[in-house]
């Protein structure tokens, strides 16, 4: 009996901050509100991820959903799932 393994890959929502400068690659900035470990005040923490955009369809300011994937290059470990909102 062959069992299929399912992976729980991380899916994030963020804003494209750089597009068109690299072929099939966009930089997505994800904002998370984290509590301070001692004082419990929440602060914004931003992370930038390189994501694979096969069709070069993203532009700067787009809100996108990205998913974790196998390493595609030295820095790319995410791929574009969908564009949630196009920039104006």
Q: Domains of the chain by range and CATH? A: 11-85 (2.40.50.140)
- Return the CA Rg of the chain: 15
End-to-end C-alpha distance for the chain, whole angstroms: 52
pTM value is 0.87
For the segment 3-60, what is each residue's pLDDT rounded down to a tens digit? 777 778 999 999 999 999 999 999 999 999 999 999 999 999 999 999 999 999 999 9
The model's confidence at residue 1, banded by pLDDT at 50, 70 and 90, is: low
């Amino acid at each position: 009996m062959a069992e299929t393994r399912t992976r729980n890959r991380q899916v994030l929502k963020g804003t494209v901050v750089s597009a068109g400068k690299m072929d099939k690659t966009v930089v997505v900035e994800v904002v998370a509100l984290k509590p301070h470990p001692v004082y419990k005040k929440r602060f914004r923490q931003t992370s930038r991820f390189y994501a694979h955009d096969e069709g070069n369809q993203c532009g700067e300011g787009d809100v996108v959903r990205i998913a974790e994937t196998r390493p595609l290059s030295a820095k790319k470990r995410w791929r574009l799932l969908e564009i949630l909102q196009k920039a104006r």
